[in-house]
Structure 1
Amino acid sequence: MTAPHPVATELAGVRVTVAGLGVSGVPAARALHALGAVVTVVNSGDGERERAEAEGLRELGVTVRLGDGDTLPEGTALVVTAPGWKPTSPLFAAAEAAGVEVWGDVELAWRLRDESAAPWLAVTGTNGKTTTVQMLASILKAAGLRTAAVGNIGVSVLDAVLGEEKYDVLAVELSSYQLHWAPSVRPHSAAVLNLAPDHLDWHGSMEAYAADKGRIYEGNQVACVYNTADPATEALVREADVEEGARAIGFTLGSPGPSQFGVVDGILLDRAFVEGRHKNAQELAEVSDVQPPAPHNIANALAAAALARAFGVEPAAVRDGLRAFRPDAHRIALVETVDEVAYVDDSKATNTHAAEASLAAYESIVWIAGGLAKGATFDELVIRSAPRLRGAVLMGADRALIREALARHAPEVPVTDLERTDTGAMAAAVEAARELSRPGDTVLLAPACASMDMFTNYGKRGEAFAEAVRALVPESAGHDN
């Protein structure tokens, strides 16, 4: 018989099953154990990493079941899941049949907050989440606020909520997976940066994916920030149930209207949180304060600025925070310039929407692309990017899908199709791109695909690209540039 559903603050003795042994599941198991819950962790994998994590938890007194993620332990009163587990997993079907509620680690963190807990400024979107959250945290720090970038960014929001350090405000990145399992979260203000097909194998449809993204606006107190260039984000604002007085705040790369953030003559402007916004605007920063100043990154900066201003941050802190910020590796990062050709690593562009934004930042490109398509199609990406393409080098399991789209919509673009999947394939791709390039071009790694067919993750793919590019430098040293 199923135990009564627990109240989050009364977990002592309650049997809780944690699904997953990753960066979310382990902190959740530790936190629940510390609160007195009787914790069992289930995990389908049984590899070296999982065994090491399991050993650490078992030393605390947590039960861990490896190699069996489908069976609901007897007596479970609550399931707390890592975000990557699909809603269709047998474990959740068993929980539903038993009348057991399923929370994500973000939901658990929200429910465990005390009355003095820091408010959340939350960000989601298909692309740009991590960069925007890091920009936001940099701005908040420049304002003298105690803050941290947490959530899907790799730092557990549970650790931030339950840790000893006290924060004034948290910059929280939330994925669609996390939002799916977080029905109670109510941010101070939130942004949806953009919406494009992604993770549809997990969500089941674009409608379900968008609905999960839209949960971030529920209960917003001050600002629902949306992208004026992406009407789907504004539609989510219209559908949201927010607190009275919360406002819709748009951001645009053009001139902003009232209640918007935008750009005029290279200046980032606020026409939302100023007196007389119908006539007045507040200068925040210059485009040159944002690195790199690619269009999609300017949009990220505007969204971060909007959330910061919604929290009351002064304009000077927006400028100082943006100046201090530098993006993580593998995000539109210049590796080297060789023979007047720039080699740029945007391995993080793991879907078509991200790749399109990256391609839009340069005028003449030799494009290195391919990998695991995750169900994506490439026709629209190629149509929009074709005028910028000097050539393309394709690699990875689903490269044929890109090759066929190029043949349909850009037959004049020369294509090198690499069949290799060995460790030297990236070096071959860089050499092929070099042969296709001319002075003034950009060789751009923006794969539009996931990396796991050939690399452990997108970071390893980017490192392989950078290593191959740097190997060109000694060879080019004697050339006339």
Structure 2
Amino acid sequence: MERAGERWVQPRKERTARLLELMDDPQKTYRVVHLTGTNGKTTTTQLTATMLVAGGLRAAPCGNIGVPVLDAVRDPGGFDVLVVELSSHQLWYLGLSDPAGQPVPWAATCLNLADDHLVWHGSAEAYREAKALVYRNTRVACVYNRADEATQRMVEDADVIEGARAIGFGLGIPGPSDLGVVEGILADRAFLDDRRNSALELTTVADLAAHGLNAPHIVQNILAAAALSRSLGTEPAAIKTALDGFRLDAHRIEVIARAGGVTWVDDSKATNPHAAQSSLQAFPGAIWIVGGDLKGVDLSDLVAGAGATARAAVVIGVDRDHVLEAFARHAPAVQVLEVVPGDTEEVMTRVVELAAGIAQEGDTVLLAPAAASFDQFASYADRGHRFAEAVREWIDQGRSSDQGSTDDAGGTTPDAGA
């Protein structure tokens, strides 16, 4: 079977069984948690592993981040739990496995689903089918997003081990078997005996705000991680301890500076419309930096919805026509500024000049491109780094009409509001 220029040789059942035997069948030796989703995978994988460790388990984040899975399996100290981040591409290949080689996770989640990687998968339906494989053979907890019907349908359709439970998470009041938010308290109504009449407090939105973790989509990630961790017996107190010490990676709604009354936010990791929508909802009325390699995705719905709330847009990318047309058609009231491509070294300098020229006291300038970076930058991290450097250079050169000081990235993010 060939796909996208790749050659795939399907392993024979006998070879797969022999490999598992040689590795002492890691699925029986370790409890495994599988995570996927269009956005939030890495943060939720890190959160889950951190919570499990705080609860006394030896856990390793694996897959696309952290320890390679084979290294974790061969670690002489051993692990209690492997927390594995899986992309849609990896899940697609796993879908070709014979039953003997199929993973059997303890718990699994698809955090959310939105169009992405359509060129590789060929269609949105094929992408959804690949993501849905994350729940196959789940033993204990199928964790889904109550605000995303596609993930609930995945759980309903999944071929799981008898006895596996569906566990929902969301920003609203949780029902039995859910985790949610009640009057600013993150609550668990899934993993306790009397879940119909009571709940367990995990933390509060106010406590999360003190650590820059209270943006709505981050709170959703925390609830998903808590559900996965609670399925493995992690106590609420350990979850709170883990959150008190947790910090987001760079380029994820990172407040990089405040100067002249203007806040500059780097969310370069927002590489698709779904992620950018979350950022725009966290910072309504922002001056939005958008554009790049769109990967075949249409931005019209994003621009017409959350994008229309932006005070202005600064459009970047080699091919900007689609983005410019989307604003002209769906959000004509939004002021649009265009950065004509030049040397990579100059792009973010020009972006900051344009944004600073229209920013007023109280404004937020938000880099949430809704696109990949490879048309102009080496990676989303390179794009974010260049943005941060350009902001700091602008501040150092005194271009702000009201000189201020640069704060660190631990600033307050908007409240989850539930």
Do these two structures clear the TM 0.5 threshold for a shared fold by scoring above it? Answer: yes
What is the aligned counterpart of 1:144 among 56, 77, 81? Answer: 56
State how 1:198-237 maps to structure 2 within 5 Å.
198-237=116-155
What is the aligned counterpart of 2:249 among 316, 328, 343? Answer: 328
TM-aligned CA deviation for residue 112 of structure 1: 3.6
Question: How big is each residue's C-alpha offset from its partner over 1:325-355, in whole Å with a ceiling of 9 and x where there is no partner?
Answer: 1111111100001111110000111111111
What is the aligned counterpart of 1:164 among 72, 76, 82? Answer: 76
The answer as to whether partners of 2:118 and 2:297 remain within 8 angstroms in 1 is no
Residue ranges of structure 2 left out of the alignment (5+ in a row): 405-418
Is 2:160 the counterpart of 1:242? yes
Is 2:379 the counterpart of 1:457? yes
Instruction: Report the secondary structure of 1:210's partner residue.
Output: helix
Question: What percentage of residue pairs aligned between the two structures are identical?
Answer: 49
Alpha-carbon RMSD across the aligned residues, in angstroms, is 2.1
Paired with 1:219 and 1:443, the residues of 2 have a C-alpha distance of 44
State how 1:358-397 maps to structure 2 within 5 Å.
358-397=279-318
The answer as to whether partners of 2:264 and 2:365 remain within 8 angstroms in 1 is yes
Classify 1:402/1:362 alpha carbon distance in 2 versus 1 (closer, same or farther; 3 Å).
same
Classify 1:140/1:312 alpha carbon distance in 2 versus 1 (closer, same or farther; 3 Å).
same
Aligned residue for 1:419? Answer: 340
TM-aligned CA deviation for residue 122 of structure 1: 1.4
When Rg is computed on C-alpha atoms for both structures, the one with the higher figure is 1
The amino acid across from 1:307 in the alignment is L
Aligned residue for 2:7? Answer: 91
Aligned residue for 2:402? Answer: 479
Paired with 1:190 and 1:110, the residues of 2 have a C-alpha distance of 24
State how 1:107-118 maps to structure 2 within 5 Å.
112=23, 114=25, 117-118=29-30
Aligned residue for 2:412? Answer: none
Question: How big is each residue's C-alpha offset from its partner over 1:24-56, in whole Å with a ceiling of 9 and x where there is no partner?
Answer: xxxxxxxxxxxxxxxxxxxxxxxxxxxxxxxxx
Classify 1:354/1:134 alpha carbon distance in 2 versus 1 (closer, same or farther; 3 Å).
same
The amino acid across from 1:163 in the alignment is D
The amino acid across from 1:479 in the alignment is D
Paired with 1:196 and 1:217, the residues of 2 have a C-alpha distance of 17
Classify 1:122/1:416 alpha carbon distance in 2 versus 1 (closer, same or farther; 3 Å).
same
Question: How big is each residue's C-alpha offset from its partner over 1:132-174, in whole Å with a ceiling of 9 and x where there is no partner?
Answer: 0111111111112111111112532121112223111121111
Of structures 1 and 2, the one scoring higher in RCO (CA 8 A, sep 6+) is 2
What is the aligned counterpart of 1:434 among 356, 359, 368? Answer: 356
Residue ranges of structure 1 left out of the alignment (5+ in a row): 1-78, 80-85
The answer as to whether partners of 2:92 and 2:130 remain within 8 angstroms in 1 is yes
The answer as to whether partners of 2:259 and 2:402 remain within 8 angstroms in 1 is no
Is 2:76 the counterpart of 1:155? no
Classify 1:421/1:449 alpha carbon distance in 2 versus 1 (closer, same or farther; 3 Å).
farther
Question: How big is each residue's C-alpha offset from its partner over 1:189-225, in whole Å with a ceiling of 9 and x where there is no partner?
Answer: 0111000111111111111111111111111111000
TM-aligned CA deviation for residue 398 of structure 1: 2.9
Paired with 1:215 and 1:306, the residues of 2 have a C-alpha distance of 19
TM-score with structure 2 setting the length: 0.88
TM-aligned CA deviation for residue 472 of structure 1: 2.0
The answer as to whether partners of 1:396 and 1:421 remain within 8 angstroms in 2 is no
Is 2:117 the counterpart of 1:196? no
Paired with 1:343 and 1:109, the residues of 2 have a C-alpha distance of 50
The answer as to whether partners of 1:289 and 1:319 remain within 8 angstroms in 2 is no
TM-score with structure 1 setting the length: 0.77
Paired with 2:21 and 2:277, the residues of 1 have a C-alpha distance of 35
Paired with 1:342 and 1:188, the residues of 2 have a C-alpha distance of 42
